[in-house]
Structure 1
Amino acid sequence: MDYIQPRPSSIVAALYTARDLEVEVAILHGPSGCSFKHARLLEEDGMRVLTTSLADNEFIFGGQAVLERVLKGAEKDFHPKRMAVVGTCVSMIIGEDLQAAIEGSGVATPTIAIDIHAGFRENIQGVLAALEPAAAIGWISADELERQRRLLAAANEVERLRGAASRSYIEPSRGDLKHVAARRLIDLAQEGKRGVAIMNAKKETAYMFADELLALHDACPNTEITYIANLEDRGLPKVRADAARVLQGMREAGLEPKLLGALDEYGANGDAIGELIREIEPDFALIVGVPHAVPPEYTEGVEVISVTNGPRQVAPLREMGHAAVVVEVDLHPKTLGVRSIVESEFGAVVRSIARGE
């Protein structure tokens, strides 16, 4: 596929994976502006992101000395438990040896070198570039590395078949009006229809997507609805911690969902969810998070209301036959750095309608 729309960066993917590995300081070896927005967002999530701020002089003569100096300073100033050096296009072009710089710096902090740049068509290369040295140093097991490879391939395939990578360009959309979709959802529940509410969320986005299941439960506590969430205890350290917090929050709010899959299994979870839908035989379904992971053959004859955080995902979901598609705008920045469930826009609308407002 030749994409003409922006695609996720493999450098950013490496940074997020370093965070999931509980790296406390990540050093971008490149220009100060590289991945600036995501670096700032990740600092909201507790990981310090530093830069070697390479400029034209280092582009020519190399920046290993600069990197060694930043590594020493990071260890001295922040006392991290783990660090990572993340490559950029500049470090790749000038041929920097990141591992040699780590060794030359003399730092005692366990540190991995992530050799990556932005010249990959698929951002999963950035994830693998972080996981492979993490496995080599013993931060994750060889089995977990292979599990992650399988999950990444599955997620990539979902995006290729039914996601934002299914065509070269997709017009972004804000989706259906939230109050219209919420009114229909409540009407279906109050009419006594059998329903299923499914969260198939990607990692920390569950902190907000879980709220939409809670909102439906708040609005229709006595309706025949089966609640399902991908909050099983598997994955990288932060992913498992997030799942535990979200599940605890749902339980404290009075909802005990059926667990199906883990937060990093959203791309591989579609068939399992689909089989459960067939078993339940619902009249309607609320699917939030990564709804396009569920193949459309499983929801034939079911009125589906889906919630995504991707404006380019609206058109593919409508083509899959979903009756309404709602977009949670700017969801990801709102879930970085949080440690408990946060209210979603759609959830707030559902509760408001239920109260008659």
Structure 2
Amino acid sequence: MHYIQPRPSSIVAALYTARDLGVDVAILHGPSGCSFKHARLLEEDGLRVVTTSLSDNEFIFGGQPILEDLLRYAEETFTPYRMAVIGTCVSMIIGEDMQAAIDASGISTPTIPMDIHAGFSENIDGVIAALEPAARAGWISEEELARQQVLLAGANQVEKLRGAASKRYIEPERGDLKHIAATDLLSLARSGKKGMAVMNAKKETAYMFIDALLALHEVAPDADITYLVNLDDRGLPKVRADAERILTEAKERGLPITILGSLDEYGIIGDAIGEAICARNPDYLLIVGVPHAVESRYTEGVEVFSITNGPRQVAPLRELGHQHVMVEIDLHPKTLGVRSIVESEFGAVLRSL
């Protein structure tokens, strides 16, 4: 499909994957402004991002000497555990051999090249460009690489079928007013009806998405609600560490949890969640994170409250039949660099009631 709305960048996807792999320093081999916003945000999450700042001269004569010099500088200055050199449109167009620059630099820090640019229609190409050299370097196993490829394909399919990539253009919306939806949800929880609350969150976004479940349990502790979360211990290093922190804190705060899937399996566990919903047969359902992973056939006859962080996901969720759709604006920036659960707007509204 030829999209006319902005889509995620494969370069940015490679940056995030480098972070998940335990990379300390990522070198963007391109102009200083390339992926600036996300590079700045990722520095809040412990990934130091530097750039070769290629300009007109390097566009013509090449930037390998600059890259070699920056590799040596980064090793000496930051003493990193791992480094990654991430390509850009410029490095691709001028044909830079980033592995040759790594070899010629003389550094001893384990470093891999991620040959990627922004000319891909799917951002998962950036993830694969990061994972394949990581597997060759022994940072992850071939089994984990194969697993990640399955997960990426599943997540991509969900977005194309029922998500923000399902149409050429989707009007962004802010969703329902949270205080109205929260009032309706609390009324159902206190009515004695049977409920279910599900978190199917993507990676670090779970630090905030789980707060909606915590808030619901706090304001209606005796309600007949089953809580299901994707916090299993699988995935890349940072993903597993995040899941462990969130799970530990949620249990300490008294949330009765059933675990289904991991934080990187949000795109492939829709059927498993759907089967759990059917087995529970709730009167109402709260589902947060990636609600559209669950097909509408699993939620027929159920009053659904869904929370996403994507304004372009509101319309597709309404098409799935969700009666209450809310958006946690700026959720992703608020969950970068955190190591404990972050209060959500919806959670705060629930608690205020």
TM-score (norm 2): 1.00
Q: Which residue matches 1:49?
A: 49
CA RMSD across the alignment: 0.3
State the Cα deviation string for residues 255-301 of structure 1 (Å, max 9, x = none).
13100000000000100000000000000000000000001000000
Q: Which residue matches 2:100?
A: 100
Q: Which residue matches 1:153?
A: 153
Q: Which residue matches 1:190?
A: 190
1:179 aligned onto 2:179: yes
| Matched position secondary structure for 1:261 | coil
Q: How does 1:207-222 map to 2 (within 5 A)?
A: 207-222=207-222
| Matched position secondary structure for 2:102 | helix
Give the whole-Å Cα distance in 2 for the aligned partners of 1:334 and 1:256. 25
Code of the residue aligned with 2:18 in structure 1: it is A
Code of the residue aligned with 1:210 in structure 2: it is I
| Matched position secondary structure for 2:118 | coil
Code of the residue aligned with 1:239 in structure 2: it is V
Q: Which residue matches 2:12?
A: 12
Shift of 1:344: 0.3
Give the whole-Å Cα distance in 2 for the aligned partners of 1:106 and 1:15. 23
| Matched position secondary structure for 1:347 | helix
Give the whole-Å Cα distance in 1 for the aligned partners of 2:327 and 2:94. 42
| Matched position secondary structure for 2:332 | helix
Q: Which residue matches 1:298?
A: 298
Code of the residue aligned with 2:308 in structure 1: it is T
Q: How does 1:53-92 map to 2 (within 5 A)?
A: 53-92=53-92
Q: How does 1:105-116 map to 2 (within 5 A)?
A: 105-116=105-116
| Matched position secondary structure for 2:68 | helix
State the Cα deviation string for residues 220-266 of structure 1 (Å, max 9, x = none).
00000000000000000000000000001101111131000000000
Q: How does 1:263-342 map to 2 (within 5 A)?
A: 263-342=263-342
State the Cα deviation string for residues 89-122 of structure 1 (Å, max 9, x = none).
0000000000000000011000000000000000
Q: Which residue matches 2:225?
A: 225
Shift of 1:81: 0.4
Give the whole-Å Cα distance in 1 for the aligned partners of 2:293 and 2:351. 27
| Matched position secondary structure for 2:58 | helix
Give the whole-Å Cα distance in 1 for the aligned partners of 2:13 and 2:118. 10
Give the whole-Å Cα distance in 2 for the aligned partners of 1:109 and 1:181. 52
| Matched position secondary structure for 1:306 | strand
Give the whole-Å Cα distance in 2 for the aligned partners of 1:160 and 1:300. 21
Give the whole-Å Cα distance in 2 for the aligned partners of 1:47 and 1:320. 37
Q: How does 1:233-252 map to 2 (within 5 A)?
A: 233-252=233-252
Code of the residue aligned with 1:18 in structure 2: it is A
| Matched position secondary structure for 2:168 | coil
Give the whole-Å Cα distance in 2 for the aligned partners of 1:193 and 1:285. 11
| Regions of 4+ moved over 6 Å | none
| Matched position secondary structure for 2:199 | strand
The answer for unaligned runs of 5 or more in structure 1 is none
TM-score (norm 1): 0.99
| Matched position secondary structure for 2:286 | strand
Moved more, 252-261 or 7-16: 252-261
Give the whole-Å Cα distance in 1 for the aligned partners of 2:255 and 2:330. 26
The answer for unaligned runs of 5 or more in structure 2 is none
| Matched position secondary structure for 1:282 | coil
Give the whole-Å Cα distance in 1 for the aligned partners of 2:146 and 2:97. 26
Q: Which residue matches 1:117?
A: 117
Code of the residue aligned with 2:96 in structure 1: it is E
Give the whole-Å Cα distance in 1 for the aligned partners of 2:227 and 2:325. 19
Code of the residue aligned with 1:187 in structure 2: it is S
Code of the residue aligned with 1:246 in structure 2: it is I
| Matched position secondary structure for 1:101 | helix
1:23 aligned onto 2:23: yes
Aligned residue pairs total 353
| Matched position secondary structure for 2:326 | strand
